[in-house]
Structure 1
Amino acid sequence: MSVETIYKVILYPFINESIASLKAMASVAGESDDAFMDKVEDFRFKGYAVCSDITGSLDGVIMMHHYPETAVAIGNAVCQNMFGETYDYSEINEELGNALAEWGNTIVGRSTDLHSRHNLDYQFSSPYFVNDVSDMDKYLVGVKEIVTVPIKIDGIGRYYFNLLVRSASISGGGLKRDESQGVANPYSTALPTDSRILLVDDSSLIRKGMKRFLSQIGYTNVDEVDDGAKAVAMVKDNCPDFIFMDVIMGEVNGNEALKAMREAGSDVPVVMLSSVTDQELIDECQALGISGFIFKPINSENGPQTLKDYLKIA
């Protein structure tokens, strides 16, 4: 199997989504260099990686791989873009970790969603993070090939995509995403500013950003939870006036929480958020009655206006 085939079928969507997310979430430009075959015996862990296991016709791991200083710079840029403030941390802390997790989850989520649309016979695991050098040896067991693509970032440095291949039997051409513009709120009457709004997202970065954006447009009565199950409980016990809810979360996903709310008789307006633009998922949520669907990312420049456009009830 050629480098070109692996790049086009597996890596191409990840490369494109990462460069697009750099621009949207960190306001920095990136570009990819040519793919090449890395020597397995010379491969070294650089210090920080977002990974997804691949099973099926391809057995391996895909990594978005950084030196720690590059990860810190990207994390600072994501925070700065989200909050409109200067960030200058020198090491990965909880806040940068949350920012990098949101960036990595967005890239992997959108890329694996694109793969799934083409009925290919391999699957990706949920993304996870590796930042311990001692953890890397187990990923190299049985690896026969490593395809590497460097990504250059203006003013920051490089990170790398590595595809660690144990075995593979795939064919095909490149995959391309059709850009989605989201699903607009169909109403025209704004939600009163003293209304109670609930934010449901497992990313503390997103909750912090959205809470700030809401405050900027006059909404300060805001609660937040990090899982769909908690949102269902809050709607049952003390119903909010409006909900912004992420789709992919830990215990209970947003679409499942939405269904539970509707089955319990709640008609609270809900706007869904996701980095995954799966049309079946959108159709499912619309059938349950939503007031719009926002596709991430959002940031300090577009966040306040985006939320204002969706905060309509009649």
Structure 2
Amino acid sequence: MSVETIHKIILHPFIQESLSSLKAMTGLEGRADEAFIDNVEDFRFKGYAVCSDMKGNLDGVILMHHYSETAVAVGQAVQLSLVGESNDSDTLNEDLVSALEEWGNTIVGRATHLLQKHNLGFEFASPHVALDLEDMTPYLKGVKQIVTVPVHVEGVGRYYFNLLVREVQQDNVYTDVNLTSEAHIIPPPLNGVPVDKNALIMTVDDSPMIRKAIVRLLADMGYTNTIEADDGASAVEMMRSDKPDFVFMDVVMKQVNGDRALEAIRSFDTQTPVVMLSSVTDSTVVDRCQQLGVHGFIFKPLNAENSLELLRSYLKV
């Protein structure tokens, strides 16, 4: 498989999603250079990476790879955009890693969904973060070829997309696929009354950064009576015990996904409005949630410019 094919079909969606999400989540501008082949022997871990194993027509790893200083700068920008707080740390502390995870998961989720949607014979594992060489070592085993694309962030530095190739199973990847994605978006209902400012609102997301961002936005609108859940299973339990009046819930989480949690919730509560959040515009998931009586969908990435209006449109304030 040629570098051109790998770049166009596999790496290109990740690069484009990263540039789009970089702009949306940080306000920073980026540009990508041409793809090239890296020497496997010369490959070095740079300090921070988001890794996603891929199987099928190609056995390998997608790697979004940063120097530590670039990761810190981007993480600071994401945190400032999402929660309105600056982080002066010059190392990757817990808050900055959380911000970078949200950015990376948004990119990987949107790009992998797009590739899988076109049935190109690739399957991707959930992304994992590597913070040191020990975290990175399992992904480097058996790698025979590395394709690299540098991405320059204006005023910040560089990060890289690497495709670590272990084995190409077959060379029948389609090169004429139009890799575009149309969001199947459920708009907020046109009718209804504003949600009362004393209403109990629950935020469900396995990202502490996203939960914090939504709670902050709700407070800006006068909603201070909030609770949080970090997984679909705990969300179901809190629906039974706390009986929130409104719910914002992520779709993809580490334990129980939001659509499964919604199904469980609807078995005993068919009235409470639930708005789903997702980085993946999967029509199957959207249709399933619609059938379960979802109130709406908000598609990531969230940022300071769009988040307040999106939440406001569903709360009718």
TM-score grouping bracket, smaller chain normalisation: over 0.9
- Are the aligned partners of 1:67 and 1:159 in contact in 2 as well (CA < 8 Å)? yes
For the pair 1:213 / 2:189, whether they are aligned, the reply is no
Aligned AA (2:94) = E
Q: Deviations over 1:26-71 (max 9, x none)?
A: 1101110000011111111111110000111101111000111110
Pairing 1:210-249 to 2, within 5 Å after superposition? 210-249=214-253
Q: For residue 200 of structure 1, report the CA deviation from its aligned partner.
A: 0.6
Q: Secondary structure at the match of 1:205?
A: helix
State the match for 2:198 in structure 1.
194
Structure-2 separation of matches of 1:167 and 1:310 = 47
Equivalent of 2:207, from 185, 203, 210?
Answer: 203
For the pair 1:172 / 2:192, whether they are aligned, the reply is no
- Are the aligned partners of 1:199 and 1:244 in contact in 2 as well (CA < 8 Å)? yes
Q: Which runs of 5+ in 2 are unaligned?
A: none
Return 47-56 or 260-269, whichever deviates more.
Answer: 260-269
The RMSD of aligned alpha carbons is: 1.5
Q: Secondary structure at the match of 2:249?
A: strand
Pairing 1:32-71 to 2, within 5 Å after superposition? 32-71=32-71
Runs of 4+ in 1 over 4 A off after TM superposition: none
Aligned AA (1:231) = A
Structure-2 separation of matches of 1:143 and 1:126 = 19
Return 249-258 or 163-172, whichever deviates more.
Answer: 163-172
- Are the aligned partners of 2:83 and 2:209 in contact in 1 as well (CA < 8 Å)? no
State the match for 1:110 in structure 2.
110
For the pair 1:31 / 2:31, whether they are aligned, the reply is yes
Q: For residue 135 of structure 1, report the CA deviation from its aligned partner.
A: 4.1
Q: For residue 137 of structure 1, report the CA deviation from its aligned partner.
A: 4.1
Q: For residue 184 of structure 1, report the CA deviation from its aligned partner.
A: 1.4
- Are the aligned partners of 1:202 and 1:249 in contact in 2 as well (CA < 8 Å)? yes
| C-alpha distance 233-138 of structure 1, shift in aligned 2 (>3 A) | closer
Q: Which runs of 5+ in 1 are unaligned?
A: none
Aligned AA (1:103) = W
Structure-2 separation of matches of 1:92 and 1:268 = 39
Pairing 1:271-310 to 2, within 5 Å after superposition? 271-310=275-314
Structure-2 separation of matches of 1:138 and 1:309 = 45
Equivalent of 1:251, from 246, 251, 255?
Answer: 255
- Identity across the alignment (%): 55
Aligned AA (2:141) = V
Q: For residue 83 of structure 1, report the CA deviation from its aligned partner.
A: 2.5
Query: Structure 2 length as normaliser, TM-score?
Result: 0.95
Structure-2 separation of matches of 1:28 and 1:84 = 16
Structure-1 separation of matches of 2:78 and 2:52 = 21
State the match for 1:184 in structure 2.
187
| C-alpha distance 12-175 of structure 1, shift in aligned 2 (>3 A) | farther
Structure-2 separation of matches of 1:283 and 1:5 = 33
| C-alpha distance 16-178 of structure 1, shift in aligned 2 (>3 A) | same
Q: For residue 300 of structure 1, report the CA deviation from its aligned partner.
A: 2.2
State the match for 1:5 in structure 2.
5
Q: For residue 301 of structure 1, report the CA deviation from its aligned partner.
A: 2.4
| C-alpha distance 146-223 of structure 1, shift in aligned 2 (>3 A) | same
Structure-1 separation of matches of 2:115 and 2:43 = 27
Q: For residue 89 of structure 1, report the CA deviation from its aligned partner.
A: 1.9
Structure-2 separation of matches of 1:175 and 1:162 = 22
Q: Deviations over 1:9-41 (max 9, x none)?
A: 110110100111100111101110000011111
Q: Secondary structure at the match of 2:31?
A: strand
Q: Secondary structure at the match of 1:18?
A: helix
Q: For residue 152 of structure 1, report the CA deviation from its aligned partner.
A: 0.4
- Are the aligned partners of 2:54 and 2:62 in contact in 1 as well (CA < 8 Å)? yes
- Are the aligned partners of 1:149 and 1:160 in contact in 2 as well (CA < 8 Å)? yes
Q: Secondary structure at the match of 1:87?
A: coil
Query: Structure 1 length as normaliser, TM-score?
Result: 0.96
Q: Secondary structure at the match of 1:298?
A: coil
Return 202-211 or 114-123, whichever deviates more.
Answer: 114-123
Q: Secondary structure at the match of 2:272?
A: coil
- Are the aligned partners of 2:184 and 2:286 in contact in 1 as well (CA < 8 Å)? no
Aligned AA (1:180) = A
